[in-house]
Structure 1
């Protein structure tokens, strides 16, 4: 970076003014001269002296040496004497402004006068302390230390931050011991339980989690105390908690304002950016509230407004004033601070456009940073809102830059990477993208993966494309960065994972040679990618028993853990089934396998089922009761394995068919099918006996009833239909009633006694209020046929048919009468209310 010109003044010498500057050496690109111009006044400087040329790396040191040499001649920065004289002014506000300007200049020659002014300071005490801290000369430590113990928050704050900048570790440690005791108990306990200097993301979670337990009125003070401690964990916790606080509450706002001022003194760009945006955003929601507040200066209670509009406007201007001073006096810090101020802006900050007021007209700091050097926007000072100058101003110029201090951005272009990775506004992305593509393309090559990956989730498609292109450019399939692949696999960004998949395919000839990478990629945590890796490494798995053993052991570890989310282990189950069953079978004893089936996640249970089918010894281990339980398992693979074991154990059911009879009532159709097969073909009716068959007939399941009917009909000679029919008729399912009718018609023994014993059945069927006509016709035909056989059955049949004929509908009555007549013709002596007459030439 080329140093800024320095103006020096010597009130006693012949040359009172000197200007030191740097410029590129003519005809020697990349080299620079240091130029010194001197004269009696600014308008009359001589040609001066030229030093160099110097390389860009040594330019800053040589420039500083020239300035120091002029200091030996009693030259000092221009204006110092006036500012030092101003420290003696009668007005405190003049003294405070002079101290602030001396602090920004970081002129060590001003330390003595500042310390002297501190002894008699009044309202300007904080400004003097801030200036001493900004200059950073340890000589000031003894003068600053006493103020770190002051009760007044503003003075204590300035003193502590000054000690931090002065590097007074001892004084800071003593102060930290004092203020730690003021923290609420939950926060102090959480802070003591962790390493305060742990910089890792998430280390602050312990503090954040207990913060809600702190009483609301003490939360602001607790946060300011944590920020005063200044450890990485404490600062990270504050940034996480700040968005949830109310700015218009007195016991919040006093300390939020304190943190805000500390962030500027400390040059903590991230906290400064968060609070600058929060003050602006909350200001759109509230005008503040009235409250009675005790003053730290006089101890009196004053009625005032908290977070009122004047306060909001003052702090919004202060944010820009701070950035402007950074650009002028600490140019190396400006770009980073400006980037952090832009990052918190998002779509929620937009308003409804109105006339020349655009969507982001109220975003004061955003417009200051991005458009301050242009002339398209006009500031409404009373509202701190920007409007377009005219309708033609909506279009951004293509040939000039509008951002404030563009040379500061160019000197530190890595700030653009921060915007591309974290900003949520497309307009900010367009600003940073234009700078990178036109002037600073080389910073992408120096960017870390942590800086490139966030670009893939940007709300601006060209930014996403730029990040992807840079990552692709870096990847060499012949020399793959597999650590980078692994990081992308674990990323939450879909584009990153898709890029990792493509790299995995391209570099598979190399990583599949390494067992550690094969195991890592096939157990990546991304099921789809694990399947891809397994497919790419399939040949290696087939030919490498050692690798299979390592991978199977790793998969077993995964299967013993609960699923992170439903389906997350599906890919590992497929890998295990395709390539590792033999190896897994070797590593699991029977007890462990059964435990995996009973307690593992669904995929582990399915895998256990596959392996259980290979273990005939499990029949002895589980017994009939255990097999029956597993046959009703919800995992199909477990049931399938159990079915195979049940077939091996069929002889055991001969002594105790009870479990098998329970399995035919299973909720799982495949288990019932196996049980049916064993009952029908494996055991047969001899083992079941009539009681067992009757138990099957009692089932409410149609498929069980069908099997029972087949078995009964196959061995109908073992049953007495006269005893069986009543039981079937009592069954609620219509299938059994139809089966009862089939048994009666097809298997009722001949003779009047059997027919008479089932007369109730025939009556119930014939006189049913909701009859089935085919059933009635079958019974009528059956009774007619039985009545024709002999006089004894004719009597029973004629009585039943006659009773039915008197109450039935005409069609059924006619059919019943015809049946009776047929019986009477065959057996004329059969008693019946129906008689046959010939007088009319027909039946009466």
Structure 2
């Protein structure tokens, strides 16, 4: 028979039972038998049968896949063959059989099967280790806040028997089973499980109508018990409330009275709200759900539950609810009811139970237990404090406990003995110094800052401070707390009484912790005269490579310049040495140069020797040169304090202000200028100095524009200076020895100089002797490789003219032409041969390498 047909038959059977009011469940007759192996385990009273039934339901209703190496794919893991042979998967009546068997283990198993499986993944790992698991959609049930997992879904296979179990549990007073289903009816929405009737209609197995009916029925049943004053009300209510968890609520926030409130909303629940808020003036039920049920995170400190008198008669059940509930709202209700209606019961609870509750996983329980302990055990009725217990709470492993205990301690510290406060302070310091318990130390440092602050001074000494400084790495997770403790100890340190010196405090100025640094700075400011500060301290302070320390040093010394004056004779030379020491830290060198010597002590450097200033001006670092320029302006030296060469060097320095000062002093020494000096000054890469020198040369009287000066300018490497030299040559041509000029041109590597000299060749009176003297010049021009074609053409033209004009010149140039004809290329060769031919034809007696036929 097909699965759909079986489900249709079951649906038809359910409709007949409803129409005929057939209460078949009251007979408590078993239906489908349990698998033989499970029945055997029940008969043996084997506790493992519960897990076996959970695994059985998991495989029956869920899905587990295992890798098949033969097929190379995932295969569904099925029930054992013997179970399949005995069981119809479409018949859920085995669950009914299990419940009515009456066996205690069977009842426990049914409750486990019907409950939501919050730890379903743990079940998978426990039952099917190392296998791939998939949660079947059949196991996922919906509610208005999300999804939960249930091994027994409300579907056509099981729902008929789930309702029967619910009714029978209600009839027989099985509060535990009834409560599990009541919780599910209250929370669980309808699913997508539909069936087609014989008439072809689709119906929902667990519809909204069924959902609303069942949860109203649950409350109606309890309400009747409560009205009758039946103690069963409390038993059923407690079991029901134990089923609820925090995840059953919706976490929400709302803006009210100018602030945000955070809490839980329970509008979607029905039974839950009636049990806890039935008498509320704020929360009201509507037709299908409640309205405005918003419970703050800290709970409600008022009682609004149904039948409060009945609750007050069962303090033990309230205590059970308080200690076992999973919902923070339920715990708050039980705690409020106990405090307001059964305080005597709470007084009888042993102290050990309260202490155990401090370690409870739910913070509502631990907070309530802590509040009770602080209120009733710390300060006894005789006014004497239980200091041992208080100490235990202040250093409890749970931070919430520590915070609450610290809050109480702060309010009552003045009532406690001084010795106890000192003991707590000492223990806090030891915990932070030990550094092995980060979370406990986190709370301790806050306690030390607040309530134990008046007692910190008793422990503030340099021995403890140095231990904290030396303990642990800066990258340790405890580093920040140790630094915070250091700051507190430094703030309370009595420098005068303990004889602390500045050298001892100096390392703390470099602390990465702002509070430590600030407290150390405050100590230097406050106890300046008591810290035995000397030259060694000053040098150590200045040598600290830390920008924040340097900022403090500047402020500290600026306020005490008169105190520093006696140290000047020894301090300033040491600072100068440190500034120039390349092995010194760059941050320290820059600080000394820019701040201390450059600003703070700058006026004290007026007597600095010129040699030291020159060393700065010639330094490779630009900043040092700039500082040298500042000193030069401060000292205002006379020109005669420098040699001419030193002034020339200064005129070539990169800094413009140094060059300007050098030029200014050079102008004052004009009477002793020499041509070499002017050329040296002019031959620079700096435009201002070069242009200044060129203006000076151009403005010189004619008699001072000497050939030595002009030839010097012509020999420079700069084109603009050579152009000036050529201009001066044109201006003083009649005063110059052109032979010497051309000789100098032969030594120049620059083509324009040689071309300029050749252009002047026509103005010379040429003789054989002059040709011989200038042979080197012509060789320089002709033998330049791959360059100077224009100069070569000019030289050829001059030789051709001279050869035709003067015999002695022709005869003098033949040796040069003989060498050239052997070494030149075709173009020049033809021209040389032509010139030699002309010479031989004009002057036959002159010997040439040519033979004319």
TM-score by length of structure 1 reads 0.49
Higher relative contact order (CA 8 A, sep 6+): 2
Larger Cα Rg: Structure 1 or Structure 2? Answer: 2
